[in-house]
Copies of this chain bind each other. A is one copy, B any other.
Amino acid sequence: MEAFSDGVIAVAITLLALNLAVDGPHHGSLAHQLGQRWPVFVAYLVSFFTVGIIWVNHHALVEDIARVDRTMLFINLGLLCFIVAIPFGTALMATYLTVPGFDASLAMAIYCAILEGMSLGFGVLFWWTLGDGRRHNPIPPGNRWRVWVRFTMGGAGYVLALAVGFLSAPLALAVVGLIAVYYIFERTPSAYPTRQ
């Protein structure tokens, strides 16, 4: 399960860079093209670190799983279904970010919805692993809800970003970037066993 997920995430993160390509010599000066395409570069960075942090947390989560069952494989598949769609969502959002009108908000909403789906998939996977006998480092039943909420709080952030996107798409992108920063410091419980 881990090797396959690692492979999918590795391919998805690398495909993010396909969107960076510029149009070539006959479409204005390179500096002008790059300046016009700043959303593509910012979107690459935000999505790269969002997916990268997913991988770090997925890794920490999966490592602690004591027993893989078929249900878990399918929850993981649902999670991967959203991760694989992130390069599409990133390209869509970056293409429309600076287009005036409703389309920028719609593209940002789709991007945020994909990230939200990924976050929910992650939350379901995490919840499933909290069950008795499923983790090497079990979490006491009384703490599970608290630990889970703290871990999946980023999901609320993507809903917020989606809403902000209807006011300003670039501002929503900043919110998504901040969620990535939040997840750098926040972690799965297996990453801080001493606090259990």
Residues of A within 8 A of B (CB): 1-4, 6-18, 20-22, 24-25, 29-31, 34, 44-45, 48-49, 52-53, 55-56, 59, 70, 73-74, 77, 80-81, 84-85, 87-88, 91-92, 95-96, 99, 102-103, 106-107, 110, 184, 187, 191
Contacts and interface: CB of A to CB of B under 8 A. Distances in A.
Number of copies: 4
B12 A15 contact: no
Contacts of A103: 25, 29-31
B8 A10 contact: yes
A85 B55 contact: no
B84 A48 contact: yes
Contacts of A102: 29-31
Given A12-B14, A25-B99, A74-B184, 16 more contacts: A4-B10, A7-B7, A8-B13, A11-B11, A12-B17, A14-B84, A17-B84, A17-B88, A18-B88, A20-B85, A21-B91, A22-B92, A30-B96, A44-B85, A48-B84, A52-B77
Nearest to A191: B70
Contact of A30 (B11, B49, B81, B106): B106
Contact of A10 (B11, B21, B73, B81): B11
